[in-house]
C-alpha cells in the first residue's frame, strides 16, 4: 500500500542525496449506472474485485466510496502502471456490481445520502460530531513520500506549507453539487472543512511539539484519535512518510502522476534545504487559509494568493515558480521530462473541474459529465506522457 513508502538509501549518502519513493492513495465514488446518484454499493463491488488486487482495495468512510493504494516505488512509470491496473480492475468490479466508478471529489447529483460503513470507529465519529459532511462522499488523494525520521519530518512539513495551496489548485475536481455549479472548482474542499480538525498544517517547532498538538486536540474532544488529524500535510501515524492530503482525487492518471512527482520533488527539495541549514518560510496562518480558499475557488484557471509576497498572482504563474523551485530534484529523480509534458497537457485541457464544466456545457446534461469522469477514471484516451 502507499503508506509503506520509505526513502531509498544509498550507502554512505546523506539524506539530501537519497532518491525518494512515492505512493498514492485514491478515493472514488460509486454511482448508480442509470441515474448517476451515489450508490451504497461498496460491499457488492469489493466482492467482485479480483483476488490479486484485493490487498490494495479497501473501504472508505461511506458505503458509496472505495479506496485504492499503490505500492511505493521510485519510477513514475511503475507507479502509473500500478494505479492503472487498480483503477481498471476496480472499474470492472463496479460494473460487474451494477454501478460505475468515478474519480470525482464529490458527487454532482442530488440523492439519498449513503450510510457510513459499519465500523465502530465511524459510528463513534458520527455520534460525537454529527453529520458534518453531508452528501454522496468526499473523495481525496493522499501522496506519501518517505522521510528519514520524525524530527526531520516535521521540518519537511514546515517547508511544504507555502506550496500546498498551488498543488491543491492542480487537483480541483468537484465543481458540481446537488445538480448545480457551486461556483467553486473544489466543492469537496469546502464541505471537508466542516470537520473541526481540517486545517493548514501549523508551524511546528519540533516533533515533540507536533505530538503535543495532537494530544491537545484529542483531549479537547476535537479528534477521536491521531487518525483524525486532517491537516493538509502530516506525518503518517503508521509509516515513515510525510503525507500530502489536501487534494481532490484526480480524474485521470496523468493528473495523479503529475501531482505525485511535484510532491516528491518538493519533499526532496526540503530535505536538501534542511541538510544545508536553510530555514523554511514561516507563512502566517491567515495567509495560508486565504491561499487554500482561493485554490478551492479558482483552481489553476484563476488567481492564487502569493504566500511569499502577499497579494495575488495568476495561478499558473505560481505553478511555474514551484516547478523552477524543484527543478533540480525533478531532474535528479528523472522526472523533469514527464512533468514538463504533463504540465503542458494540463494547461491545454484544464483541471478536472474545468473538464467537468466543459463536458456539461456541450449539452447541459450531467450524463455527459458522468461519462467523461468514467472515461478518465479508466484511463481511456489518456496514454500518458
Q: pLDDT tens, position by position, for the chain (385 residues)?
A: 444 434 443 333 444 458 999 999 999 999 999 999 999 999 999 999 999 999 999 999 999 999 999 989 999 999 999 999 999 999 999 999 999 999 999 999 999 999 999 999 999 999 999 988 778 999 999 999 999 999 999 999 999 999 999 999 999 999 999 999 999 999 999 999 999 999 999 999 999 999 999 999 999 999 999 999 999 999 998 889 999 999 999 999 999 999 999 999 999 999 999 999 999 999 999 999 999 999 999 999 999 999 999 999 999 999 999 999 999 999 999 999 999 999 999 999 999 999 999 999 999 999 999 999 999 999 875 544 4
Please tell me the number of Cα atoms within 13 Å of 64 on its side-chain side: 26
* C-beta separation of 64 from 38 below 8 A: yes
Supply the pLDDT for residue 382.
Answer: 58
Residue 168's nearest CA partner among 155, 191, 186 is 186
Supply the pLDDT for residue 18.
Answer: 83
Supply the pLDDT for residue 13.
Answer: 40
CATH class of 2-378: alpha beta
* C-beta separation of 63 from 122 below 8 A: no
Cα 292 to its chain centre, rounded Å, is 14
Residue in the structure block whose three cell numbers are 468514467: 374
Give the Cα separation of 199 and 231 in Å (integer): 5
83's grid cell: 494505479
What are the domain boundaries of the chain?
2-378
Supply the pLDDT for residue 128.
Answer: 96
Give the Cα separation of 257 and 263 in Å (integer): 10
Supply the pLDDT for residue 381.
Answer: 56
Separation in Å, CA 12 to CA 18, 169, 216, 225, 264: 10, 38, 39, 38, 22
299 — alpha (psi -120 to 50), left (phi > 0) or beta? left
Amino acid at each position: 500500500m502507499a503508506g509503506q513508502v520509505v526513502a531509498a538509501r544509498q550507502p554512505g549518502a546523506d539524506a539530501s542525496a537519497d532518491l525518494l519513493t512515492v505512493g498514492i492513495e485514491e478515493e472514488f465514488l460509486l454511482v448508480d449506472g442509470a441515474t448517476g446518484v451515489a450508490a451504497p454499493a461498496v460491499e457488492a463491488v469489493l466482492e467482485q474485485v479480483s483476488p490479486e488486487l484485493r490487498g490494495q482495495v479497501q473501504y472508505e468512510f461511506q458505503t458509496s466510496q472505495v479506496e485504492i493504494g499503490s505500492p511505493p516505488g521510485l519510477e513514475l512509470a511503475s507507479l502509473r502502471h500500478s494505479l492503472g491496473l487498480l483503477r481498471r480492475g476496480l472499474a470492472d468490479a463496479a460494473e460487474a456490481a451494477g454501478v460505475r466508478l468515478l474519480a470525482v471529489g464529490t458527487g454532482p447529483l442530488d440523492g439519498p445520502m449513503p450510510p457510513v460503513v459499519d465500523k465502530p470507529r465511524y459510528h463513534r465519529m458520527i455520534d460525537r460530531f454529527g453529520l458534518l459532511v453531508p452528501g454522496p462522499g468526499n473523495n481525496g488523494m493522499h501522496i506519501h513520500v518517505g522521510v528519514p525520521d520524525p524530527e526531520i519530518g516535521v521540518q519537511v512539513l514546515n517547508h511544504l506549507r507555502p506550496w500546498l495551496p498551488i498543488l491543491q489548485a492542480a487537483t480541483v475536481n468537484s465543481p458540481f453539487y446537488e445538480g448545480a455549479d457551486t461556483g467553486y472548482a473544489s466543492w469537496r474542499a469546502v464541505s471537508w472543512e466542516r470537520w473541526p480538525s481540517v486545517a493548514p498544517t501549523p508551524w511546528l517547532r519540533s516533533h515533540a511539539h507536533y505530538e503535543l498538538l495532537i494530544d491537545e486536540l484529542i483531549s479537547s474532544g476535537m479528534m477521536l484519535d491521531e487518525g483524525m488529524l486532517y491537516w493538509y500535510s502530516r506525518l503518517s501515524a503508521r509509516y515513515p512518510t510525510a503525507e500530502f492530503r489536501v487534494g481532490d482525487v484526480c480524474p485521470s492518471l496523468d493528473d495523479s502522476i503529475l501531482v505525485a512527482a511535484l510532491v516528491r520533488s518538493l519533499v526532496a527539495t526540503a530535505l536538501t534545504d534542511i541538510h544545508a541549514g536553510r530555514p523554511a518560510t514561516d507563512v502566517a496562518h491567515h495567509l495560508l487559509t486565504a491561499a487554500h480558499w482561493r485554490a478551492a475557488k479558482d483552481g489553476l484557471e484563476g488567481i492564487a494568493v502569493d504566500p511569499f509576497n502577499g497579494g495575488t498572482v495568476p495561478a499558473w504563474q505560481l505553478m511555474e515558480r514551484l516547478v523552477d523551485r524543484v527543478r533540480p530534484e525533478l531532474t535528479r529523480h528523472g522526472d523533469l521530462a514527464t512533468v514538463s509534458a504533463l504540465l503542458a497537457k494540463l494547461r491545454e485541457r484544464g483541471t478536472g473541474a474545468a473538464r467537468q464544466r466543459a463536458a456539461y456545457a456541450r449539452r447541459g446534461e450531467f450524463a455527459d459529465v458522468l461519462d467523461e469522469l468514467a472515461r478518465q477514471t479508466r484511463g481511456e484516451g489518456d496514454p500518458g506522457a
